[in-house]
Structure 1
């Protein structure tokens, strides 16, 4: 099963790197986002089943990812993207920081997987840009210190189920419609 996930991730990353394939087209298939949400739940469940979860001696900073849907809808797609990039940047850093403190194999394996998945989203979102220039990590998202490993997984699941899912949904409204005009690609799946 892990090999299947690795192949899917490799295919995903190769698809992103191809010049002729627009990475934004990935948002048009709702099944992919549902798969990612399922993976976040699985990771959170598996880390909870680890024998011993040590408290981190050095706290990590986690983004506060809760949001008001009404306020979220009023933001531009670029603002949403930058906000999620800030959250992911902090989350990737937290996972890396926790990995350096955890020696227990089960928790270390789950943290490594979370790091890879969050970093993949981070790299993907950098390809979506409406403004000139590259994204810079000069953002200051709302955050809090945590010493519990489970908090990292909870934050990641909330980010994927919340902001990221709604962002992909918003992107699909624009990008899937553009992709259908004058192309032979199949229409987007209904949401």
Structure 2
């Protein structure tokens, strides 16, 4: 799985400038996270339209992405970022494992799209973490996991993660990133 992440990072770096890895626009423009949430719902709808989705022969481990808002608000942004990153990394690993097993074209194409979208957020969160003074290379702790054989649950977990933890995390980051007047100055650079 580490090889998949290294390969994805290499491709990503070849296509964008390092200076654009800071997720300021992603955080400051609320419409972007809403677009990604809508995209996740669309992917979930598309996978439901695939004919005869098989149950996975090998159960995949998925993060449990539900959370208590009260506990969430008590955490620092660094801890929140680590938690979301940990969940995304687990999800990306689960998607990769499922791709190796699945042979049907309809869900395979959608899984590939999901892998790219989830990996996009992994890279952005790793970029944010590298800017934190006490950031670690790997997220600390282990996520709570569930074993799943239903392919639809992979797509549902991604959507729930975007609608929940990632959405709230970006809301919290807006305060750190000076998204108001400063954003217009950056766009003219």
Shorter-chain TM-score: which interval? 0.7 to 0.9
Unaligned runs of 5+ in 2: 1-11
Map 1:13-52 → 2, pairs under 5 A:
14=16, 17-19=17-19, 22-52=22-52
Greater helix fraction, Structure 1 or Structure 2: 2
Separation (CA, whole Å) in 2 of partners of 1:18 and 1:53: 39
**SS class of match (2:137):** coil
Mapped contact 1:25–1:176 kept (Cα < 8 A):
no
Q: CA 1:111–1:182 in 2, change beyond 3 Å: closer, same or farther?
A: closer
Deviation at 1:70, TM superposition (A): 1.1
1:144 pairs with 2:155: no
Superposed CA RMSD: 2.1
State the Cα deviation string for residues 37-71 of structure 1 (Å, max 9, x = none). 00000000000000011111100000000001111
What is the TM-score when the length of structure 1 is the normalising length?
0.82
4+ aligned runs moved over 2 Å, structure 1? 17-26, 131-135, 179-186
Deviation at 1:181, TM superposition (A): 5.1
Separation (CA, whole Å) in 2 of partners of 1:48 and 1:156: 15
Mapped contact 1:25–1:175 kept (Cα < 8 A):
no
Unaligned runs of 5+ in 1: 1-9, 187-191
State the Cα deviation string for residues 157-186 of structure 1 (Å, max 9, x = none). 000000000101111122034x73597358
Corresponding position of 2:173: 171
**SS class of match (2:19):** coil
The count of residues paired between Structure 1 and Structure 2 equals: 172
